Chain A
Amino acid sequence: MEGADGAPQGRQAGYAGGVKPAPFTYHRPETLAEAAEMAASLENARLLSGGQSLMPMMNLRYVAVDHLIDLNPVAELAGITIDGGRVSIGAMTRQRAVLEDETLARCCPVMREALGFVGHVQTRNRGTVGGSLAHLDPAAELPGLAALLDAGITLRSRDGDRTVAMADFPRGYMTPDIREGEVLTSLAFNAWPDGHGWDFREFARRHGDFAMAGAASLILLDRDGRIARAAVVLIGIDDGPVRLSDVERMLTGETPSDDLFRAAAALAADRPMAADALVTETYRRHLAGVLARRSLAVACARAANGGGHA
């Protein structure tokens, strides 16, 4: 769901509001090739995946399109494959399927933890991985996970496939690097080694709401209990998920301790933070620091526990 109503636009504006979408033509491709063809050829078209973000925006007439291309019938876009340490998740895989996948929960437990924060039972039944990535809400969990896991995002067009690293995928506020005529097909990443620690947490005022801020971490310890590898992401603080490479550098080679977490959190919070009508920059920065510290502490503890319990 989108935020507050935009302020009215200028003097001549008539105003209706409304909750019924403006008219469009619905298209139902059955193959990816067909979908890509439609995406390339139809004017003012949008792809429809789970619809849990796009439909509210269309109902409220924030978004009006001439053509809606429904990816739901494209069976080849759904499914999770895990091959060795390589995980690939089809764009039309439902959020619920990701949440409930046992193999995924074993090799990448942060996924299940994060998906528990995504919306509600009804929205997870429809909402998809690809839809969430393409919508790119700054506070969304799936883009945050993609950043955390150094995922690659594959896009299909008439001209073939293109893979974008998640780090390069956001191009601005809710603006992914998806070109005209491209269809997001999958998300792929290498699972972290067994025994890694993980944590995903966020702060929203009610369960299922978009977070005011969130933090995720992955930690691998070496034999001496020092941090061998770290990945830390903040969500909800900027246009897209923010991977904290400075924090990761600071952590690497260190022995986990409360002081370390505190210093890491201070560094994590020391960056520009979005402010809006309801949340100040100061509070968001404060939250980001608290969440980062708590996240690191839990991820390190789980790593120390040999990967804890999924």
Chain B
Amino acid sequence: MPDAPPKRKITLTVNGREYTAEAEDRYSLADFLRHALGLTGTHLGCEHGVCGACTVLVDGEAVRGCLMLAVQAEGCQVTTVEGLANADGSLSPLQQAFMDHHGLQCGFCTPGILTTLTAYLRDRPNADEAELREALSGNICRCTGYDTIVRAALAAAGAMREGGQP
């Protein structure tokens, strides 16, 4: 083992804002966001790549934040749950649908589910229930039993189709 764990400076854009911070090479992107940048909305539920709580968007695509190193996000555009609301701070259609349909209880899995669905619905605004359930199969929620999440996603898809915004 090296004497001191190697570290380096990482520059990336998170939620439209550029950040530079130091991190050990071994830091996961999720740890970096949470502890180096203080963006604690991204959660860690297993750190072995199964629960999906850590999901963030990297260059627009949903990835597991516990399975990607922070150094790998150098120069990337990252979106976390903190960056999903509308520019004026109001809830995005998806966030609003989660509130309207009781899509969350403890809220711990929610950031990963919102990011996953944000990318998914952007690409497939006409997704049906079965497709949504498959898309959600990489996110574990212990509280809700998923149904309200699916309802919220379907409602958000509807709202997004009408409103035309992501």
Contact = CB atoms under 8 A, between A and B. Distances in A.
Contact of B68 (A51, A66, A96, A121): A51
B2 A23 contact: yes
B138 A19 contact: no
A238 interface: no
Interface stretch (B48-56, B81-89, B92-100, B151-159): B48-56
A56 B69 contact: no
B39 interface: no
A119 B62 CA distance: 13
A25 B139 CA distance: 31
Given A55-B67, A123-B64, A207 B137 contact: yes
Chain A interface residue count: which class?
A: 20 to 34
A55 B6 contact: no
A26 B9 CA distance: 12
Contacts of A21: 26
B49 A52 contact: yes
7 contacts: A23-B1, A26-B69, A26-B71, A55-B66, A55-B68, A123-B64, A126-B68
Contacts of A217: none
Nearest to B25: A26
A55, A56, A122 — which one has the most chain B CB atoms within 10 A of its CB?
A122
Contacts of A51: 67-69
Interface of A: 1, 19-26, 28, 48, 51-52, 55-56, 58-60, 66, 68, 70, 72, 96, 119-123, 125-126, 206-208
Chain B interface residue count: which class?
A: 35 or more
B103 to A, nearest CB: 18
Interface in B1-38: 1-2, 5-6, 8, 24-26, 28, 31
A28, A119, A121 — which one has the most chain B CB atoms within 10 A of its CB?
A121
B108 interface: no
Nearest to B134: A207
Nearest to B112: A122
Nearest to B5: A23
A148 B69 CA distance: 34
B9 to A, nearest CB: 13
A121 B1 contact: no
Contacts of B1: 22-23, 66
A198 B67 CA distance: 33
A127 to B, nearest CB: 9
B126 interface: no
A66 B1 CA distance: 7
B146 interface: no
B62 A125 contact: yes
A25 B71 contact: no
